[in-house]
Structure 1
Amino acid sequence: MTRKRIIFCDFDGTITVNDNIVAIMKHFKPEGWESLVDQVISKKMTIREGVGRMFALLPTSRKQEVVDYAINNVTIREGFAELLAYCQEQQIEFFVTSGGIDFFVYPVLAAFPIPTDHIYCNASDFSGSHIQIVWPHACDENCHNDCGMCKTTIIRRYSTKDYERILIGDSVTDFEGAKLVETVFARSHLIDLCSELGLNYVPFEDFHEVIQQLKEMNVQ
């Protein structure tokens, strides 16, 4: 039986050209944010702790400013709409697995034909004095990395017996998932991480390149 292809695609820095969490921090400049970003990227701090602490620096009184900036600052990487069309045509299941936050992930992706139950991201709570990040997709018993939005937990729901699993990503949030799948399309930090472990990865700059590579994989 032929396995069904399934794609798990990151959002920040992958679907979008820039990393939206970092962009928010750079724009609003809460004291201490740079150290938190550095510690997450260098893996000295877990993703969940780092992202939670970053947003806790921002007061909820600035909610509308933060939300408006996050949504309006987004640039979609070239070829994304075409990739979704190709996946639909080829019956490839497409999931967004994002370490980003609901208040910008869902509004941005609303322009594209992706079912909401195929979008995984973190949530937010603006009821207190400062922004609190909520973690509805935490690590299962097989992951102890304190991911926040655990991509490996989602990937493991789709067995290698039934699915050819593909990950598209760019950074440290994608690294654990990259170890599980058959093929990785990588950018930025993820290229270095995949190279270090000798993982099967394909570098890319836009989604047209991903589509072309998927087509070539069909004839191999």
Structure 2
Amino acid sequence: MHTVILVDFDGTITKEDTCIAMANNFAKKGWKMIEEEWRSGKLTTEQCSLKLFEFMDIDQKKLEKLLYSIEIDESFIDFLDFCKIKKYRVIITSDGFDFNIKTILSRYNINLEFYSNKLKFTDGIINAEFYTSKECEKCGMCKLNVLKKFKDNNTRIIYIGDGYSDICVAKYADVVFAKNVLLSYCIENNISHIPFNNFSDIIKKLK
């Protein structure tokens, strides 16, 4: 039996959500109304992001400077070392952006496979590409599609997450580690899960 671990990025690997950090630092007043519409399901991730970009005074250098200040979970590298010993395959699944993931991982000399939306600057203008499911447009990058890509009778899927974009995929994983929004959802909907605060907790449970 092979083990594939799918892990959320923003707020799970990182100590803070990079997309919210972008809005807090670069968006004009009023952006939180857009976020609330996303949380309530009135806006998809793509619609929310594109609206937020209109509110932002941002360029590539400003974003890089912000991302350099964002830290990851102190025990995440230990977690990767543990997974390497166990021969577990670790893959990031994010409804955030590749630019943010690459920038932060490079600071820590971490090289991981990941699936996410794409963010780019063209002539100084920020834009993005999204990978929504044909069946559901809620998330920009469908994590359930990633799970389906790796799930088979000889593969155990472990999912680690904290937020709204982790809800759908958590229903289909073999093992779920949850905190924050995802934890509340699992409790309310009787989805089997293991609570965690950091990756040190996860290492102990997997041992």
TM-score by length of 2: 0.91
Distance 2:109 2:94 in 1: 16
Structure 1: segments with no counterpart, 5+ residues = 216-220
User: Following TM superposition, where does structure 1 have runs of at least 4 consecutive aligned residues deviating by more than 3 angstroms?
Assistant: none
Q: Secondary structure of 2:149's match? A: coil
What is the aligned partner in structure 2 of residue 122 from structure 1? 117
Q: Secondary structure of 2:136's match? A: coil
Between 104-113 and 3-12, report the one with greater CA deviation.
104-113
Contact residue 58 and residue 130 of structure 1 kept, 8 A: no
User: How far off its partner does 1:17 sit?
Assistant: 0.8
C-alpha distance 58-130 of structure 1, shift in aligned 2 (>3 A): farther
User: How far off its partner does 1:57 sit?
Assistant: 2.4
What is the aligned partner in structure 1 of residue 126 from structure 2? 131
What is the aligned partner in structure 2 of residue 191 from structure 1? 183
TM-superposition CA deviations, 1:178-211 (whole Å, max 9, x none)? 1110111111111111112211111111101001
TM-score by length of 1: 0.86
Q: Is 1:23 the equivalent of 2:21?
A: yes
RMSD of aligned Cα (Å) = 1.8
2:168 aligns with one of 170, 173, 176? 176
Q: Is 1:79 the equivalent of 2:84?
A: no
Kindly report which structure 2 residues correspond to 1:135-146, keeping only aligned pairs within 5 A, or say none. Answer: 135=130, 137-139=131-133, 141=134, 143-146=135-138
Q: Secondary structure of 1:13's match? A: coil
Q: Secondary structure of 2:191's match? A: coil
Q: Secondary structure of 1:5's match? A: strand
User: How far off its partner does 1:58 sit?
Assistant: 2.2
Distance 1:114 1:155 in 2: 20
Distance 1:79 1:90 in 2: 16
What is the aligned partner in structure 2 of residue 93 from structure 1? 89
2:52 aligns with one of 48, 51, 54? 54
Q: Secondary structure of 1:161's match? A: coil
Distance 2:100 2:124 in 1: 20
What is the aligned partner in structure 2 of residue 65 from structure 1? 62
Structure 2: segments with no counterpart, 5+ residues = none
Between 51-60 and 24-33, report the one with greater CA deviation.
51-60
User: How far off its partner does 1:144 sit?
Assistant: 1.3
TM-superposition CA deviations, 1:100-125 (whole Å, max 9, x none)? 2122210211224434xx11121123
Distance 2:54 2:82 in 1: 39
Contact residue 37 and residue 50 of structure 1 kept, 8 A: yes
